[in-house]
Amino acid sequence: MRIMGLDYGKKRIGVALSDEARIIAQPFTLLTRVSAVKDIEEIKRLIVENHVERVVIGHPVNMDGTLGKSALEVEAFAERLKTSASVPIELWDERLSTVAVTRILIDADVSRVKRKENVDKLSACYMLQGYLDRAAKRAPSGD
């Protein structure tokens, strides 16, 4: 089973998926937002088709730990998804993930157009990888 990472934005939702072993995150797709109902239906379809056992949504908390407008919008979206999805939904602090990904793309000399096309799904991947790494550190080592 996989874990899905979502980077929820005003116009697009970046989607990343873990591998079956839940070790490596990979960019998966970019959804163009249509409406709350249609967005959730599309995510539910992806959950089923990709055998997802948990969804992690990036939570854009302010640097001082407060919740701004974007964080509150993500929380509302997560609550709507929780009521209709058949898997656990979790928020994950994504402070600076989009900034980090944008800097990586700039350093790699990716054009502005290509950055815009890819930053959301790569941010979802970056955020999900952080979640997977933390989960791996918390898991019993088996030694």
Tell me the sheet residues that pair with 30.
14
Kindly state the average pLDDT of the residues 94-107: 80
More confident residue, 87 or 107: 87
pLDDT for the residue 110:
85
Q: Which residues contact 23 (CB under 8 A, 6 or more apart)?
A: 132, 136
pLDDT for the residue 49:
98
Per-residue pLDDT for 64 more than 80?
yes
pLDDT for the residue 140:
67
Per-residue pLDDT for 120 more than 70?
yes
pLDDT for the residue 80:
96
Pairing of strands 89-93, 12-18: unpaired
Q: How far apart are CA 72 and CA 24, in angstroms?
A: 29
Kindly state the average pLDDT of the residues 37-58: 97
Kindly state the average pLDDT of the residues 22-31: 96
Buried-state track 97-122, b at ≥16 Cβ within 10 A, e below 16: bbebbbeebeeeebeeeebeebbbbb
Mean pLDDT of the chain: 91
pLDDT for the residue 141:
59
Per-residue pLDDT for 71 more than 90?
yes
pLDDT for the residue 136:
87
Nearest one of 86, 115, 78 to 98, comparing CA atoms: 115
pLDDT for the residue 90:
97
